[in-house]
Amino acid sequence: MSISAITQTPSSPTGLMRIWKRYPNIIIGGAMLAIAVFAAIAAPWLGTIDPQTIAPFNRLEVPGTEFWFGGDLVGRDVYSRTIYGARISLAVGLGVVVIGIFFGLLIGILSGFVSWVDQILMRVMDGLMAIPSILLAVALISLTGASLKNVIIAISIAEVPRVARLVRSVVLQLKERPYVEAAITAGTPFILILWRHILPNTLAPLLVQATYIFASAVLTEAILSFIGAGTPPSTPSWGNIIAEGRTVFSIAPHIVMFPGIALSFTVLGVNLLGDGLRDIFDPRFVSRT
């Protein structure tokens, strides 16, 4: 099903208008993500100051013309921190997608082709999936220490089983296809079968899955920072800014609201993009959880 779906992808030169008409989610979601990416890359030139600069007179300052998003508990500029926060969130999203898909692909292909390995790996994956991902990440980070790298690794480990299961189910289906059977019978080298037949067919479902992983990783990072198991507290990540604003929420709600909006905006964009891609590819294996 995914094979025919790929060939149906609209790809004519005038495609953008047609995509907009048929899949508005891709355009809207893509634009929202692009804005977040732009903010992350161009952070120093967007009227920001050093996100760590402490200006005591700016403590809990309400949003105004000088400090657009107001000041936080110690007088740092919430606007600058929020804009720089995009860097942390997107780095986590991207890192988790790359690591999660790489290892998920490896494990999925391995268990799809080698049945005795499959038994063992799938039991391990079942066990990993039974542990709520936040708690798994919490345990890993409390043992390894809070750093951006450890946060990315911890969230990736929780995502690997989902990718592995997806890839495995694609491999198992493809193995039954006559052309793959024929290729195996004809003695085609395994690498070639992988490259020609398996990987191209995992691309579409993986692309959709990647958006969901990205969205969930960004949310998880924020939750981890919020509960104190994420990036070190001084890092201007959205979860950290919100966590710091928690205690003064009733008198200075802006500290929580602006990074909260940025976070929801980014995740919403990625989710819309993912839904749009899913509508095009319709990969039935992909599930959100």
Partner 1 sequence: MLALAIRRILATIPVMAVVAIIVFSLLYLTPGDPAAVLAGEQASIEDINRLRSTLGLDQPFLVRFSQWIGGVFQGDLGISIFSQRPVMELIVQRLEPTIALTIASLFIAVTIAVPLGVIAAWRAGGLIDRMAMSFAVLGFSIPVFVLSYILIAVVSVDLKLLPVQGYVPIAYGIGPFLEHLILPALSLGIINAALIARITRTTMLEILNQDYIRAARAKGLSVRRVLIRHALKNAAIPIVTVIGISFALLISGVVVTETVFNIPGLGRLTVDAILRRDYPVIQGVILVFSATYVVVNLLIDLSYSLFDPRIKY
Q: Which residues bind partner 1 (CB under 8 A)?
A: 123-124, 126-128, 130-136, 138-140, 142-145, 215, 219-220, 222-223, 226-229, 242, 246, 249-250, 253, 256-257, 260-261, 263-264, 267-268, 271-272, 275, 288-289
Q: Which is nearer to partner 1, 129 or 199 (CB)?
A: 129
Closest approach of partner 1 to the CB of residue 216, in Å:
9
Give the contacts of 131 (CB within 8 A, at least 6 positions apart): 158
In this structure, what are the phi and psi dihedrals at residue 71, rounded to the nearest 5 degrees? -115, 160
Q: Which is nearer to partner 1, 84 or 212 (CB)?
A: 212
Closest approach of partner 1 to the CB of residue 242, in Å:
6
Q: Which is nearer to partner 1, 26 or 198 (CB)?
A: 26
In this structure, what are the phi and psi dihedrals at residue 77, rounded to the nearest 5 degrees? -75, 115
Burial class of residue 278, CB neighbours in 10 A (0-12, 13-18, 19+): buried
Closest approach of partner 1 to the CB of residue 6, in Å:
22
Q: For the range 284-288, what are the long-range contacts, defined as Cβ-Cβ under 8 Å and sequence gap of 24 or more? A: 284/1, 285/166, 285/169, 285/170, 285/205, 286/166, 286/205, 286/208, 286/209, 286/212, 288/212
Q: Which is nearer to partner 1, 180 or 273 (CB)?
A: 273
Closest approach of partner 1 to the CB of residue 3, in Å:
22
Closest approach of partner 1 to the CB of residue 261, in Å:
8
- What pairs with residue 71 in β-bridges? 77
Q: Which is nearer to partner 1, 141 or 198 (CB)?
A: 141
Q: Quick check: 97 and 107 in contact, CB under 8 A? A: no
Task: Residue count of the chain, please give it.
Answer: 289
Residue carrying the six token digits 């208008």: 17
Q: Which is nearer to partner 1, 49 or 140 (CB)?
A: 140
Closest approach of partner 1 to the CB of residue 13, in Å:
29
Closest approach of partner 1 to the CB of residue 135, in Å:
5
Closest approach of partner 1 to the CB of residue 104, in Å:
17
Q: Which is nearer to partner 1, 9 or 264 (CB)?
A: 264
Give the contacts of 36 (CB within 8 A, at least 6 positions apart): 86, 89, 90, 262, 265, 266, 269
C-alpha distances out from residue 9 to 57, 163, 263, Å: 56, 23, 31
Q: Which is nearer to partner 1, 10 or 132 (CB)?
A: 132
Q: Quick check: 217 and 19 in contact, CB under 8 A? A: no
Vertex 228 angle, CA 220 and 267, to 5°: 25
Q: Quick check: 91 and 148 in contact, CB under 8 A? A: yes
